[in-house]
Amino acid sequence: MSNTIGKLFQLTSFGESHGKAIGGIITGCPAGITLDFDKIQYELDRRKPGQSNIVTQRKEDDEVEFLSGIFEGKTTGMPIGFQIENQNQKSKDYSHIKDVYRPSHADFTYDKKYGHRDYRGGGRTSARETANWVVAGAIAKQIIPEIEINAYVSSVGDLFLEKPYQALDFSKTDQNVVRCPDEEVAEQMIQKIKDTRKQGDTIGGTITCVIKNVPVGLGEPIFDKLHARLAFAMMSINAVKGFEYGSGFCGAKMNGSEHNDLFNEDGSTKSNLSGGIQGGISNGMDIYFRVAFKPVATLMQTQPTIDKDGNVVEMQGKGRHDACVVPRAVPIVEALAAMVLVDFSLLNKTHS
Amino acid sequence: MSNTIGKLFQLTSFGESHGKAIGGIITGCPAGITLDFDKIQYELDRRKPGQSNIVTQRKEDDEVEFLSGIFEGKTTGMPIGFQIENQNQKSKDYSHIKDVYRPSHADFTYDKKYGHRDYRGGGRTSARETANWVVAGAIAKQIIPEIEINAYVSSVGDLFLEKPYQALDFSKTDQNVVRCPDEEVAEQMIQKIKDTRKQGDTIGGTITCVIKNVPVGLGEPIFDKLHARLAFAMMSINAVKGFEYGSGFCGAKMNGSEHNDLFNEDGSTKSNLSGGIQGGISNGMDIYFRVAFKPVATLMQTQPTIDKDGNVVEMQGKGRHDACVVPRAVPIVEALAAMVLVDFSLLNKTHS
Amino acid sequence: MSNTIGKLFQLTSFGESHGKAIGGIITGCPAGITLDFDKIQYELDRRKPGQSNIVTQRKEDDEVEFLSGIFEGKTTGMPIGFQIENQNQKSKDYSHIKDVYRPSHADFTYDKKYGHRDYRGGGRTSARETANWVVAGAIAKQIIPEIEINAYVSSVGDLFLEKPYQALDFSKTDQNVVRCPDEEVAEQMIQKIKDTRKQGDTIGGTITCVIKNVPVGLGEPIFDKLHARLAFAMMSINAVKGFEYGSGFCGAKMNGSEHNDLFNEDGSTKSNLSGGIQGGISNGMDIYFRVAFKPVATLMQTQPTIDKDGNVVEMQGKGRHDACVVPRAVPIVEALAAMVLVDFSLLNKTHS
Amino acid sequence: MSNTIGKLFQLTSFGESHGKAIGGIITGCPAGITLDFDKIQYELDRRKPGQSNIVTQRKEDDEVEFLSGIFEGKTTGMPIGFQIENQNQKSKDYSHIKDVYRPSHADFTYDKKYGHRDYRGGGRTSARETANWVVAGAIAKQIIPEIEINAYVSSVGDLFLEKPYQALDFSKTDQNVVRCPDEEVAEQMIQKIKDTRKQGDTIGGTITCVIKNVPVGLGEPIFDKLHARLAFAMMSINAVKGFEYGSGFCGAKMNGSEHNDLFNEDGSTKSNLSGGIQGGISNGMDIYFRVAFKPVATLMQTQPTIDKDGNVVEMQGKGRHDACVVPRAVPIVEALAAMVLVDFSLLNKTHS
């Protein structure tokens, strides 16, 4: 099992949704960074459940406690150990899923691979783990404050935000609960999620992430291309099924004469269909990519499934689950992107 | 610069398109595997330029020479060193691109990152490197002969093979030069590429890869999910802009009630929208994914660009380039997939 | 900064001596191991300060709290997060060392490398960190219960236990406070340490470690030889200056005709001057090695030194320090050896 | 099997003594280093067999061929692929050892671990592999030309060079065939080796390595201490049984009051019993360490041993073997030390 991400700036994490705590160790953080702890908490609050009436009503006041690596408000270069207590782990009734493999969950594969599963709410496979990533990402952002990372919800189901990112005001992203920076589309998305929830159903969506002010030179091809690492990181998020950057899948339909990203005299490029990356290395233009999330698998509807012995059983989701995961995934996408960028920033220093 | 892929089954590679040779070292290959060298050469032949009149007419009779790690026809468990000579490195004229940054190439970013570039045909950024991967992949395939890996061209430009993979006969993939297993669509694709080439243009496309007979249990979440590693590997291929597996970007438009992949009594699933992977671990169903390739950047048309000093210059592609890269990329996709699968097979042994 | 040890069985650790807690994350521990928590606590008690009147009288009731990776008493294959509170971190007076570089400490080098130092008792450089290793090692021992790992104090200053390890009864090691399995020599060692302490001085020593019942085949040459990794691990322990295995430095004085380790008919060897390892791989014979510890640098005597500005100052050690570190280092040596052996056991599975 | 050493500056190597070639790939070498190829060849010549009448008379004119990563005489930042042909691989008669486990060789352990062995002269376990290291080390030296690395033979059997390294003139090391910088002791050593060889026997020895002009700050504790990595690297060399740095095993006999390495006002230290490293980080003083080599196992005498079936057989070494390996190991020790220092130099850049 791999629980570490990054090469020089690394997060190693632990924790199950219903254990005592989750947490992690961040290594490779440079010394002397003055940390703004409010900003870290702010990111955790963006991710936490129960923020609005379109996401799960589970309440988790995620508070991170730092145990090492910080002295007098600054990073010391030593590993940063942290933990987040699982406050809300009430001994609820899991008997309805204990022996049941939930459809489109990891119950079956974990059971087969590890010879057991932790049936208490997903165990290690729970998206609760992503709170650890948000902590590491919030620190990463503070190491590279000049780089602006803005993710937002760009579609919910078949409802798309059609405007190009250049036409958006990212300061509006967090002004609505769905985290779409276009107010009008946001309203429609919110309504769509409410309707979906009313039916006990769930719905997928996409997140677009735009990164500005990236220095030229980040990325370590041949096998550690900047976009390859971004894809790898995003693919770690629960429910992600696809990744594209720059022109993406649309680019595969195009001719070279329309796709080529011609230079301006200053070295910037005209179309940026390249998505800010050429040959796996940032070229100084905006990086943008899109991540596809499937609908949450836990429905408030009755579904047939099987138990460990292969018996067909009926199951109905209980508890407090998201009808649409993308609004809460926005800070997670940003966190992972920040971690990747810091890692490559450190790696790039070794070339000079 | 990262030149190694894999954790236990690793390829470390070297080489530029116009140096003396390219090559690599494969480590972690189990001992005692009887190698079929014809199969290795066969895969190299599938990748090589000049196979047909729709791909580049550069002739490279790629012959791999093994230098170690094989004794009396079997792997020994020792590192397998190999090299492929660059036979066709004629001292041609690169003066037209020596100081020019070609649009949508890595010239600019390599120059900025490393303080120089190898202008002789792309240097390390050349797709010639992928011949190394094909060698490693061809060996990987022989370690897991029970797993069937079949990639094919599923679109060229806006021309799509609409049939689901289940309706295809993969034995037909290599019967046409575009490597599309549907003869009719293949003909159309070939025509499209010929038309594109006639205009001195290039065109993008997608490759779909289907993997059958995968054992349950491959993948090492949280951060080394099977699909995350597949995405990472595919994103290493030149020109790739997107990756999706299972329902992919389409899944992001769906409701949970239609997306959920219900179990049959034997543990198999009904829709396999999951794409053979749940929670980052193979569930025994077919794995399938799709990779998007942008059009090749080198055109046989005149394009404006800049030189190192920021002067605007006109440039026209010379030489022998592909109008569409996807037919030749089919064995590359398969090779990388095989390497990922072998790596996880080895990692999985440490859990038992 | 590297805070991770191991390849498949890994410990990543954090913590300073005077922070809130130290701890770590163990990854790669196989699922389904029933843990004996008393044994883990027992090892921590062997390491802890204040055990006897020859070691430091600091009291630390090191209690480890496990936060994840264990369910119903068994390992789950998920990462094991744990922490040990620093109970005894009284806000004592460090003003006497705050700006002073203590001789033969890491104050100077950490300050220069990281631009600061944590003057509260050593920070990350404190041997308190080794409590984390003992936790991981105690778990490692339970993964390979058939392998017996026995370390003991083989010298204090110039007082050597001359008997070969074969003549010793390891059950006696913990029956005296110096952890020398020969009662008579143990008495002399204890007296020597007491005398040293009385003078406000400290003294070095060596630990020998004997590992029995090792299966043939552990070790991954060329660059991950079993003895290379043991040396690497032991060299991580504070104050260690040397490592030798098998015939060690004595072997360098010998002729081949006396050194060669002839085979018995059953594949065992006669002299085992090889130390149980040939070509970097265990051969099934006892592994034995010896580790040299310099004397503790903190004296209860006055020493001249310099402060950050290069001023010469007088300093005198205060607080509760060990006069001889080797008795408490015995469980640390065993812990690291166990971690190395488990790691190679897992790696070896990938060869079959 | 691990065939890679280093974290940022890495060598991955391949090759058996009797295959077509050995070689490797160096990654992480900074771009823009002008290479002096004569210096690389010079180091290879220092290592090669047949240099003098006290070492093996096998003739190997090791010539390295670089295949990539170098353009117009400078490193490009791309991986440096290289190979060295095995010119002298005459199809000699190995029937006398084919089924025999040679005492104190790796025949037995490799056979058990990998299910086979390459009986043609040691295969991968041959010290021929160290030629690869010398190439990588010779390049490493050119990356850090300001750091002086001087190894020399400090003992042969029980004959020791008693002078401290400060009293030696390292320019004399290569002026005699035993590579001891004291002419008088060198003469005695040479005589000792000749006498040993005459008896068909072999003899061990030690190498001391002194590194000057090391910047403060190299080393990445907790688990990647500078001396831990040096020990790990040295332990990779065939026949090495021990490593000590600074005061080493002698330090374990001392009191703290005599061992402590007091500061001068400029931050330098008085005794340097620390060996230039404190807390795992270089302190700017000379680094020195000592490596113990057992006697070569292949004797020109008759020895009893067993074959694969456990039958006792008589065997006598044939061929051209060293009676004492340490003179030829001097450049190997330097090469590995250089690789470690470059690696930490690159890692250290990520802290600033």
Give the mean pLDDT of C66-93: 88
Condensed to tens digits (0 to 9), the pLDDT of residues A78-126 reads 999 999 999 866 556 666 677 899 999 999 999 999 987 777 767 899 9
Distance from CA of B8 to the nearest CA of C (A): 8
Q: How many residues does chain C have?
A: 352
Distance from CA of B29 to the nearest CA of A (A): 19
**pLDDT over 60 at A158, yes or no:** yes
Residue C182 touches chain D, beta carbons under 8 Å: no
Nearest by Cα to B13 from B63, B58, B61, B79: B79
Condensed to tens digits (0 to 9), the pLDDT of residues B238-263 reads 999 999 999 999 999 999 999 999 99
Exposed / middle / buried, residue B278 (Cβ in 10 Å: 0-12, 13-18, 19+)? buried
Split into its structural domains, chain B has a count of 1
**pLDDT over 90 at B21, yes or no:** yes
Residue A8 touches chain B, beta carbons under 8 Å: no
Q: Is C243 helix (H, G, I), strand (E, B) or coil?
A: strand
| pLDDT value at residue A187 | 98
Q: Where are the alpha helices (DSSP H) in C247-351?
A: 248-251, 256-259, 326-349
| pLDDT value at residue D117 | 72
**b/e C304-336 (16+ beta carbons within 10 angstroms → b):** ebbeeeeeebebebeeebbbbbbbbbbbbbbbb
Number of helical (H) and strand (E) elements in chain D, helices listed first: 8, 17
| pLDDT value at residue A135 | 98
> Which residues 61-90 of chain B have a CB within 8 Å of chain C?
77
- Give the side-chain half-sphere CA count within 13 A for C156: 30
**b/e C102-122 (16+ beta carbons within 10 angstroms → b):** bbbbbbbbbbbbbebbbbbbb
Please list, in sequence order, all residues whose beta carbon lies within 8 angstroms of the beta carbon of residue D89, skipping any fewer than 6 positions away: D17, D18, D19, D20, D120
Instruction: State the CATH number of the domain containing residue C93.
Output: 3.60.150.10
Give the mean pLDDT of D219-243: 97
pLDDT band at D213 (very low <50, low <70, confident <90, very high): very high
Decide: A79 and B235 in contact? Cβ < 8 Å: no
| pLDDT value at residue A319 | 67
Fill in the DSSP letter of residue B35. Answer: P
Of D13, D114, D246, the CB nearest to C241: D246
Query: Could you tell me how far CA A212 lies from the centroid of its own chain?
Result: 18
Condensed to tens digits (0 to 9), the pLDDT of residues D200-210 reads 999 999 999 99
Of D205, D225, D273, the CB nearest to C236: D225
| pLDDT value at residue C352 | 74
CA dist., res. A261 & res. A274, Å (int): 7
Please list, in sequence order, all residues whose beta carbon lies within 8 angstroms of the beta carbon of residue D38, skipping any fewer than 6 positions away: none
* Contact flag C105-D299 (C-beta cutoff 8 Å): no
Of B77, B347, B352, the CB nearest to C351: B77
Distance from CA of A312 to the nearest CA of B (A): 7
Please list, in sequence order, all residues whose beta carbon lies within 8 angstroms of the beta carbon of residue D348, skipping any fewer than 6 positions away: C113, D215, D217, D218
**pLDDT over 70 at D333, yes or no:** yes
> Which residues 25-54 of chain A have a CB within 8 Å of chain B?
none
CA dist., res. B220 & res. A7, Å (int): 17
- Percentage of chain C beyond pLDDT 70 is 95
Nearest by Cα to B129 from D225, C104, D69: D69
Q: Is B207 helix (H, G, I), strand (E, B) or coil?
A: strand
Residue B176 touches chain A, beta carbons under 8 Å: no
**Nearest-Cα residue of chain B relative to residue D86:** B67
CA dist., res. D247 & res. D262, Å (int): 14
Residue B312, domain extent: 4-349
Q: Is B12 helix (H, G, I), strand (E, B) or coil?
A: strand
- Give the side-chain half-sphere CA count within 13 A for C7: 20
Give the mean pLDDT of A285-293: 98
Task: Compute the radius of gyration of chain A from its Cα atoms.
Answer: 21
Residue D307 touches chain C, beta carbons under 8 Å: no
Decide: D308 and D99 in contact? Cβ < 8 Å: yes
CA dist., res. D257 & res. D248, Å (int): 16
**pLDDT over 60 at B91, yes or no:** no
CA dist., res. D350 & res. B149, Å (int): 41
Give the mean pLDDT of B302-313: 91
Fill in the DSSP letter of residue D220. Answer: B
Q: Is B43 helix (H, G, I), strand (E, B) or coil?
A: helix
| pLDDT value at residue A49 | 83
How does DSSP assign B144-176, residue by residue? STTSEEEEEEEEETTEE--S-GGG--GGGGGGS
Q: How many beta carbons lie within 10 A of that of residue D59, not counting itself? A: 12
| pLDDT value at residue A199 | 94
Exposed / middle / buried, residue A304 (Cβ in 10 Å: 0-12, 13-18, 19+)? exposed
Lowest mean pLDDT among B149-153, B284-288, C14-18: C14-18
Give the mean pLDDT of A279-287: 98
CA dist., res. B111 & res. C198, Å (int): 66
Average pLDDT in chain C:
93
| pLDDT value at residue A208 | 98
Of D31, D77, D349, the CB nearest to A349: D349
CA dist., res. A244 & res. A275, Å (int): 10
**pLDDT over 80 at C88, yes or no:** no
* Contact flag D229-C225 (C-beta cutoff 8 Å): no
Decide: D227 and D277 in contact? Cβ < 8 Å: yes
Condensed to tens digits (0 to 9), the pLDDT of residues B156-213 reads 999 999 999 999 999 999 999 999 999 999 999 999 999 999 999 999 999 999 999 9
| pLDDT value at residue B52 | 76
| pLDDT value at residue C229 | 98
Please list, in sequence order, all residues whose beta carbon lies within 8 angstroms of the beta carbon of residue D167, skipping any fewer than 6 positions away: none
**b/e A285-301 (16+ beta carbons within 10 angstroms → b):** bbbbbbbbbbbbbbbbe
The two three-digit tokens of residue B110, written as one number: 């390599």
| pLDDT value at residue D330 | 98
Between A113 and C58, where is the model more confident? A113
* Contact flag C30-B351 (C-beta cutoff 8 Å): yes
Nearest by Cα to D124 from B152, C243, B78: B78
Give the mean pLDDT of C225-252: 98
Average pLDDT in chain A:
93
Please list, in sequence order, all residues whose beta carbon lies within 8 angstroms of the beta carbon of residue D249, skipping any fewer than 6 positions away: C206, C241, C242, C244, C249, C292
How does DSSP assign C45-108, residue by residue? HHHSTTSSTTS--------EEE-SSEETTEE-SS-EEEEEE-TT------TTTTTEE-TTSSHH
The subunits that touch chain A, with at least 3 C-beta pairs less than 8 Å apart, are B, C, D
3-class DSSP string for chain A: CECEECCCCEEEEECCCCCCEEEEEEECCCCCCECCHHHHHHHHHHHCCCCCCCCCCCCCCCCEEECCCEECCEECCCCEEEEEECCCCCCCCCCCCCCEECCCCCHHHHHHHHCCCCCCCCHHHCHHHHHHHHHHHHHHHHHCCCCEEEEEEEEECCEECCCCHHHCCHHHHHHCCCCCCCHHHHHHHHHHHHHHHHCCCCECEEEEEEEECCCCCCCECECECHHHHHHHHHCCCCCEEEEEECCHHHHCCCEHHHHCCCECCCCCECCCCCCCEECCEECCCCEEEEEEECCCCCCCCEEEEEECCCCEEEEECCCCCCCCCHHHHHHHHHHHHHHHHHHHHHHHHCCC
DSSP lists the bridge partners of residue C302 as C316
CA dist list (Å): C172 to C180, C183, C287, C330: 8, 8, 20, 13
- Percentage of chain D beyond pLDDT 70 is 95
Distance from CA of D164 to the nearest CA of A (A): 36
Condensed to tens digits (0 to 9), the pLDDT of residues C163-188 reads 999 999 999 999 999 999 999 999 99
Condensed to tens digits (0 to 9), the pLDDT of residues A21-69 reads 999 999 999 999 999 999 999 999 999 887 777 766 566 678 999 999 9
**pLDDT over 70 at B319, yes or no:** no
| pLDDT value at residue B317 | 73
Please list, in sequence order, all residues whose beta carbon lies within 8 angstroms of the beta carbon of residue A64, skipping any fewer than 6 positions away: A40, A41, A44, A82, A83, A84, A135
**pLDDT over 80 at C57, yes or no:** no
Q: What are phi and psi of C192, to 5 degrees?
A: -60, -40
**pLDDT over 60 at C91, yes or no:** no
What is the residue whose two structure tokens read 């790796």?
A: D106
Decide: D207 and D326 in contact? Cβ < 8 Å: yes
